[in-house]
Structure 1
Amino acid sequence: MEYFKSSLKSVLGTAPAGTQSTGADTVERLVDRLQSSSLLDDRRDACRALKAMSRTFRVEVGAQGMDALRQVLEMDRTDCEIIGLALDTLCNITNPEMFDEEVDKHGPKNKIGEQFTEIFIKHSDSVGLVLAFLEEFDFRVRWPALKLLTHLLANRSKDIQEIILVSPMGVSKLMDLLSDSREVIRNDVLLLLIQLTKGNANIQKIVAFENAFDRIFDVIKQEGNADGGIVVEDCLLLMLNLLRGNVSNQNFFKEGSYIQKLTPMFQIPNEMEDNNFGGWSPQKVSNVHCMVQVVRALVAPSAPAQAVAACQRIMRACGLLQALCDILMASGVPADVLTETINTVAEVIRGNASNQEFLAGVMAPSTPPRPAIVVLLMSMVNEKQPFVLRCSVLYCFQCFLYKNEVGQTQLVQTLLPQGNEAPSLTTGQLLCGGLFSIDSLSNWFSAVALSHALIENISQKEQLLRVLLATNIGKPPVTLMQQCVMLLQQGNKTQCKLGLLILLCRWTSYCPLAVKSFLAIDSSVAYLTALLSSQENNDDLQEILLQSMCALLIGICVHFNDDSVSTYTKEKVCNLIENRIGWEKFQDAIGGIARHEIYSRTLKHPQPSAKNPSELLLDHEFCRLLKSLEGIIIKSVIDANNENKNQLSVMNLPDNTLISQYKDLIREQDIQIQRLNQANDFLTKEKQEFEAQVQELRSTVSHLRDQNLVLRAAQANIGDGKETSASSNNLDLEKELQMYKTMIADLENRLAEYTHIMQQHNEKDKENKESDLESQLKLKIDELEKLKKDQEALLELLTDQDSKITLYKERLIELGDKIESDESSGELDTDDQPESSN
């Protein structure tokens, strides 16, 4: 007990004298009475008093009475009144919120309840005791037990989740409370289950298989579906917890025919014909928000494709998609509800041909009737509409075109001449209008939307090249690509340029004909290289992305270039990159997009995630395109550059084979010189060893000579009797001396021979090789210099000839002669123009 007092005092500080002392003493007497009294009535009274004091003196009651209250739960289970009082007291002690009565003492943000929760659950069976009391039907026990669990869960959610997960029938006891006829208990258990199922897939599965969906739908129906109160919202939040990201529960929901039960909830009467918002109360708006989130959890793009497709089919068959489209086209729907409904329709139709076709056939109740898609696009390019609504329309249109070849074709067809048909507002016209609007956000929306009609559809890229636009009266029409390049060059808003670059990158990728058309436009490449070669150090994200996209588009013009535009072949574009931009800067620019957080965020989900217009810079599908092309393009540009250098080497050095022979010869001579140097080192070492041996032998000979002299002197002093012996010793010494002399002479001869051979060989080889190399290299260098001079003279003649030919052509044109096109001139033939430009 003293431990609790001291530890909590250290955390909370010491309260002023007076009240604190009196309160602590009173609590101590009550706790002692609760523990020591043998009469149940006395213990009830003590427990009732502790409950009354637990709001004002929470710290004292918790520190001194925690063990006593747990003892009551264990020993007095049969008395509902004292159990209810003990549970209520524990609820006050662990309450995550601060009571008004204690704010002055401990402040409004003190985590007293969390600290007492940690103390309470240290006893392994504490939560089990509380769970057991849920089976007691008496309201005085069941409700405070439920509130106590809610407080414990709010304070230590992970710990309580694990405890309940391993408790026998723990989840089942909670689920049974959903059938309680007393609404307060039913509603509170809903709140507890919402907290309990957050972030724990195992508990989510157990709750789902405990018949949760049936019980939830029953409650929603009882409360009035979308028009119900906050209880409907709680039910939907619990359902959302069970479904979001949990594939097992999603399959169970689908196979249990629960999707069909969602349809009646979306069949909302159109009460807004007079634009009166009385029918959309704030609670109804919240309910519908939760309803569409449940639908989106089943068809989220991140979910397994087969499961999503199955749910999409059911939603179409059971009328859910129809009900969503009815809300979409209804009048008076609040903007935030309309936005979320559009996002939901988007994901219900995404990648499903049947559902996409269904949306294409939905007509808006307007005069004259218009397709729903057209009405949606009108909102997207209208700068007066809310930003989030415009983003949702873009997402819906992207989902409509996703893997929808028919829809892509129909969109491009609306941009081509339609014959004598009555004029009508089309998706293509709306996108072109948005593309050329003064609103940069409309430019971006329209360019990105149009780019989605070209995904994995080369034929539509080629068809789009035929689109002609009338600009000014009296002037010939221009192609859509020419207009896009012109807007890119003349625009002053970066967001608009980013959108146009997204469109152009998508258009030209995997389509050599589109690359040809882009390269044939005047100053198209020059603009990109000028922007990319700018040396300004700009930290602005939009400017960085702009340069990176320019680099990507140039790289696409290398990789998908068929060399049909003579002025911008692969070789010449690579020369521009090397001379104007630099290889290192070019590669760094292409990889620059992927280094930004906006790229990774956009890549995660197809839906635009920007919170305000200035953050809307990249598109999900463009990021996927960049991810797939980045490495390929860099490799292609490097390979093309290497090939270009090899070709230049062959052109500038006609005697390439001879140069190769020189290199081989020099390499061979280097090897021979290395070998000679090694031989020289070996012979030098051997010479040093011989010299050491000679020196040693000379020393030995000198020693023998000295001995010989000594013997000779000794022989002169010895008598005749010893003459024979001395003579014999002298003879032996002379023989040994002779022998050493012979060895010395032999070694000296060998040393002289080695030295002579080594010097002669080295000097001769070096002189011969160096002389030969110098003469040959000098001869070949002279030849190469002559060839270079001849080639420079030839190039000057060719340049002069081209200039004269151009001058003569201009004069002939002035004189009225017709000049036939020549393939070698590099100009586009009229047959190469799009069909509709004739």
Structure 2
Amino acid sequence: MEYFKSGLKSVLGTPQEGSQPTGAETVERLVDRVHSSTLLDDRRDACRALKALSRKFRIEVGAQGMDALCQVLEMDRRDCEIVGYALDTLCNITAPESFEDEEHASLSPASVGSVGEQFTEIFIKQPDNVGLVLGFLEEYDFHVRWPAVKLLTSLLANKPKDIQEIILVSPMGVSKLMDLLGDSREVIRNDALLLLIQLTKGNANIQKIVAFENAFDRLFDVISEEGYSDGGIVVEDCLLLMLNLLRNNTSNQNFFKEGSYIQRLAPMFNLPAEGDDTGWSAQKVGNIHCMLKVVRTLVTPGNPAQVTLSSQKTMKACGLLETLCNILMASGVPADILTETINTVAEVIRGNQGNQEYFANVMAPSNPPRPAIVVLLMSMVNEKQPFVLRCSVLYCFQCFLFKNEIGQSQLVQTLLPSSADVANLTAGQLLCGGLFSGDPLSNWFSAVALSYGLVENPAQKEQLLRVLLATHIGSLPVSLLHQCTMLLQQGNSVQSKLGLLMLLSMWLSHCPLAVKQFLSIPTSIPYLTTQVSAGSNEHDENEELVQGMCAFLMGICVTFNDDTVTTFSKEKLRQLIEKRLGLETFLDKMGEVSRHELYSKAAKHPQLRPKQPSELLFDHEFCRLFKALEGMIIKAVTPKPQGDLVNGSSELSMSASENSLLLQYKDLIREQDHNLQELTQTINRLTMDKSTLEAQVEDMTSTISQLRDENMLLRAQANTSLGQVTDGSSVGHETFHMLEEAQAEAHRWKRESEHKDMLIHKLVPYWAKIKQKNLCFSWMVLDLHQVGSQTATVTGVGVMKIPHQLVKFPLRGCKCTNRTQNHSPCFLKKWIQTVTLN
């Protein structure tokens, strides 16, 4: 400490006797020295002192020295030592956490965190500052590269979105970061991994760039060097970065699959030798957890179906599925690893028939050998097993039967008397045992698992009706449907009732035969009616869900009723709901199901993620069923008004002639509607044509007016030249010569006039279009010029009045039978009647 104080004295100078400078004053002097010193050694000493003070006087150094430190990075970039001091100082003042010796350590954690965030915001106001730090990553000197990595990590922790955007637009910014993974110094490589983990969070563009910068190869190389799952925390960091690159990024998932990286996952699941409990260290458990998450990221149900299917095929082909099944059946595996492995196997086989068949043939190493699926179901119905493990087994069973009609058929077959295996325990027997268990959670699990065998499979719903159960010795066997109904009526647990109601709803939907058998049970409809009409129970907030589910099951009985049970036909059940329960009450009770928070959670994802057993109320497949049938049930139970037409027939009975007449009227209305649509289209087309023609007429009118004015001017000039000529007796030779020039000039004007007349003649076709519109003349202005002894030619324009405007048109070529007495133009309205349009 004395040495440090002496160093400060050499930098700051010896203070006056009796005065001790404060921390802010000391920082101010050091910052001033960094700004004003001309010698590099002086600036270097001042930066070293600021670094020493930046932990204790963090706010003072940041507030006063930020500009000076940025200036050092810009001006003294060639001196590695001073750059290292500046980077270390910036790391301290932008750190997201507080320091023990910090003068402001008494501030709240939120205030301390905001200090680093505020200094980060000041630093990145000039994006070039981040570019400077990225440039220092190319410097091999340890005292420059390592602080640069730590500074970027702090900046990302404080302002992730802003830093991501700056790095994304920085030339070769991501490439410079990727090069750090090849650094031989482990501390830089490991910190670079942490930096890339922060950088790739939530930014798909950066994820793609990092992936195509050969990231997967480098990560697998690091994992291999560290010893795969037996490695340290670095292996976990590599897997976390891999997760960021793959999660919700279809492009990177395809690249991972096409690059044969899935095949490199299988060797990573090396298990300890059998009986070696010490091999499952905490770090190994964490590494395998991350490996399983990487596998699940490639096959999660949220991915596009094609991506998931191709990844599943590759995992089976390369032996990864076999490796996972070996972990599933191995002994001594920690419970959390076993749970995550079950979830992973579930998603690897979900919807893939080949993988499902392979899993069905996996045998557990037991005596006698049993199928793996049976061993898992034994754990699910065992109330002593961990709750999370039982949920994962249910998810695995759901994925095993998802779009697997063969598996569904085999499950139902294990319950039928002719094929039931008495010697060996079967899946169907385990589920029936769980239904009759005294544990409400086992009841729920078993009921839901049994319903998976009926999803979108009406044939197995009818097959399951054949299942008979012997309840007591000497008593007649009863059907499974009857027994489930009795268990529902006798149950006291809301969880058990909800499980049975979901099973019955799945069973009866789209299966009129099951509805018939259910309605044949004398107590079924009375029980549902009683439940729906009952008031809310203050002691159990979930009792309303039971009432809503009963209403839903009752609605299914109406929707899929074939009217074979006359006592509870479709119409009688509808009247029962309307008169006994009230339609509004019935629909409100059913609506309580979809409004529940746990319903929304279950509907989002196939996997159940409850935190405690009391949250296990709804299943994903049931939520899909409820969403699909809710509208149908509302329509089925709502009475139709008299005369309302449904599918072409009236609610009232109609005779054959009335039906025929009704069909004729419907055809007539349909034909008229078609004609009306065609007429509307025609009107729209004609309106557009009319607008186009009006625009053309307006342009034509403007052009004609301009040409007429020019023509009149030419004629006036020609007449003026001719009028100045007198008889030959009063002029001499010179005058006669002038006359010839005037006549030549007149001929020139005449030729130009004829040229204008030709232009006007080209506009005549537009007149034909105007005549087709049947428009009438309002008045004309005629400009007549005699060209013969008997007739005169109209060389003017006609004007007609149409709605909202006057339209002028050329009359060149029209003949008039009147004769003029001289050669001058005339403007006579009375000649209008004698004009003949050609």
TM-score, normalised relative to structure 1: 0.73
Decide whether the 8 Å contact of 1:571 with 1:644 is kept in 2: no
Render the CA deviation track for 1:755-810: whole Å, top value 9, x for unaligned: xxxxxxxxxxxxxxxxxxxxxxxxxxxxxxxxxxxxxxxxxxxxxxxxxxxxxxxx
Seen in structure 2, the aligned counterparts of structure 1 residues 472 and 192 have a Cα distance that, compared at 3 Å, is same
1:205 pairs with 2:208: yes
Decide whether the 8 Å contact of 1:454 with 1:461 is kept in 2: yes
Decide whether the 8 Å contact of 2:531 with 2:547 is kept in 1: yes
Seen in structure 2, the aligned counterparts of structure 1 residues 505 and 420 have a Cα distance that, compared at 3 Å, is closer
Q: 1:142-541 counterparts in 2 under 5 A?
A: 142-266=145-269, 268-273=270-275, 277-418=277-418, 423-536=423-536, 538=538, 540-541=540-541
Please state how far the C-alpha of 1:541 moved relative to its aligned partner.
Answer: 4.4
- Distance of 1:352 and 1:48 partners within structure 2: 63
Letter in 1 for 2:273: E
Render the CA deviation track for 1:495-525: whole Å, top value 9, x for unaligned: 0000000000000000000000000012101
Please state how far the C-alpha of 1:650 moved relative to its aligned partner.
Answer: 7.8
Seen in structure 2, the aligned counterparts of structure 1 residues 82 and 254 have a Cα distance that, compared at 3 Å, is same
- Distance of 1:584 and 1:97 partners within structure 2: 58
Please state how far the C-alpha of 1:636 moved relative to its aligned partner.
Answer: 1.5
Letter in 2 for 1:278: T
1:39 pairs with 2:42: no
Render the CA deviation track for 1:431-481: whole Å, top value 9, x for unaligned: 000011000000000000000100111110001000000111011111000
- Distance of 2:336 and 2:635 partners within structure 1: 47
Letter in 2 for 1:205: K
Decide whether the 8 Å contact of 1:481 with 1:518 is kept in 2: yes
Render the CA deviation track for 1:510-544: whole Å, top value 9, x for unaligned: 00000000000121010000000113365954212
SS in 2 for 1:190: helix
Letter in 2 for 1:423: A
Seen in structure 2, the aligned counterparts of structure 1 residues 544 and 134 have a Cα distance that, compared at 3 Å, is same
- Distance of 1:337 and 1:181 partners within structure 2: 33
- Distance of 2:544 and 2:424 partners within structure 1: 41
Letter in 2 for 1:102: E
- Distance of 2:118 and 2:105 partners within structure 1: 17
Seen in structure 2, the aligned counterparts of structure 1 residues 485 and 644 have a Cα distance that, compared at 3 Å, is farther
Please state how far the C-alpha of 1:639 moved relative to its aligned partner.
Answer: 4.7
Q: 1:638-653 counterparts in 2 under 5 A?
A: 638-639=638-639
Seen in structure 2, the aligned counterparts of structure 1 residues 82 and 577 have a Cα distance that, compared at 3 Å, is same
Seen in structure 2, the aligned counterparts of structure 1 residues 613 and 390 have a Cα distance that, compared at 3 Å, is same
- Distance of 1:624 and 1:536 partners within structure 2: 26
Letter in 2 for 1:305: A
Partner of residue 738, structure 1? none
Please state how far the C-alpha of 1:104 moved relative to its aligned partner.
Answer: 5.4
Decide whether the 8 Å contact of 1:272 with 1:279 is kept in 2: no
Decide whether the 8 Å contact of 2:168 with 2:174 is kept in 1: yes
Partner of residue 626, structure 1? 626
Render the CA deviation track for 1:92-150: whole Å, top value 9, x for unaligned: 11111101011655425122211111111111211000000000011111000111000
Of 137, 141, 144, which aligns to 1:141? Answer: 144
Q: 1:554-573 counterparts in 2 under 5 A?
A: 554-573=554-573
Decide whether the 8 Å contact of 2:31 with 2:46 is kept in 1: yes
- Which structure's relative contact order is higher, taking Cα pairs within 8 Å and 6+ residues apart? 1
Render the CA deviation track for 1:293-326: whole Å, top value 9, x for unaligned: 1011100101111110000000000000000000
Decide whether the 8 Å contact of 1:538 with 1:544 is kept in 2: no
Letter in 2 for 1:444: W
Render the CA deviation track for 1:699-732: whole Å, top value 9, x for unaligned: xxxxxxxxxxxxxxxxxxxxxxxxxxxxxxxxxx
- Distance of 1:325 and 1:536 partners within structure 2: 48
- Distance of 1:199 and 1:645 partners within structure 2: 54
Structure 2: stretches of 5+ with no match in the other structure: 1-17, 659-838
Q: 1:79-90 counterparts in 2 under 5 A?
A: 79-90=79-90
Decide whether the 8 Å contact of 2:643 with 2:652 is kept in 1: no
> Identity over aligned residues, as a percent?
71
- Distance of 1:625 and 1:183 partners within structure 2: 54
Letter in 2 for 1:242: L
SS in 1 for 2:265: helix
- Distance of 1:420 and 1:410 partners within structure 2: 11
Render the CA deviation track for 1:561-594: whole Å, top value 9, x for unaligned: 0111111111211121112211111112222211
Seen in structure 2, the aligned counterparts of structure 1 residues 300 and 20 have a Cα distance that, compared at 3 Å, is farther
Decide whether the 8 Å contact of 2:413 with 2:420 is kept in 1: no
Please state how far the C-alpha of 1:486 moved relative to its aligned partner.
Answer: 0.3
SS in 1 for 2:438: coil
Decide whether the 8 Å contact of 2:56 with 2:103 is kept in 1: no
SS in 1 for 2:561: coil
- Distance of 1:253 and 1:650 partners within structure 2: 65
- Distance of 1:650 and 1:408 partners within structure 2: 44
- Distance of 1:352 and 1:179 partners within structure 2: 39
Decide whether the 8 Å contact of 2:544 with 2:592 is kept in 1: yes
Decide whether the 8 Å contact of 2:558 with 2:570 is kept in 1: yes
Greater shift after overlay, 527-536 or 489-498?
A: 527-536
Please state how far the C-alpha of 1:76 moved relative to its aligned partner.
Answer: 0.6
Letter in 1 for 2:543: E
- Distance of 1:101 and 1:392 partners within structure 2: 48
Please state how far the C-alpha of 1:389 moved relative to its aligned partner.
Answer: 0.3
Partner of residue 635, structure 1? 635
Letter in 2 for 1:327: I
Of 110, 113, 117, which aligns to 2:120? Answer: 117
- Distance of 2:645 and 2:85 partners within structure 1: 91
Decide whether the 8 Å contact of 2:54 with 2:93 is kept in 1: yes
Partner of residue 589, structure 1? 589
Render the CA deviation track for 1:590-620: whole Å, top value 9, x for unaligned: 2221122222211110001211100000010
Please state how far the C-alpha of 1:335 moved relative to its aligned partner.
Answer: 0.4
Structure 1: stretches of 5+ with no match in the other structure: 1-17, 652-656, 658-838
Letter in 1 for 2:495: Q
- Distance of 1:64 and 1:649 partners within structure 2: 86
Please state how far the C-alpha of 1:645 moved relative to its aligned partner.
Answer: 14
- Distance of 2:493 and 2:374 partners within structure 1: 27
Greater shift after overlay, 32-41 or 455-464?
A: 32-41
C-alpha RMSD over aligned residues: 2.3
Seen in structure 2, the aligned counterparts of structure 1 residues 279 and 270 have a Cα distance that, compared at 3 Å, is closer
Partner of residue 547, structure 2? 547
- Higher helix fraction: Structure 1 or Structure 2? 1
Seen in structure 2, the aligned counterparts of structure 1 residues 422 and 569 have a Cα distance that, compared at 3 Å, is closer
Decide whether the 8 Å contact of 1:272 with 1:333 is kept in 2: no
Please state how far the C-alpha of 1:19 moved relative to its aligned partner.
Answer: 11
- Distance of 1:649 and 1:163 partners within structure 2: 69
SS in 1 for 2:475: coil
SS in 2 for 1:137: coil
Decide whether the 8 Å contact of 2:515 with 2:560 is kept in 1: yes
Please state how far the C-alpha of 1:271 moved relative to its aligned partner.
Answer: 2.5
- Distance of 1:643 and 1:473 partners within structure 2: 57
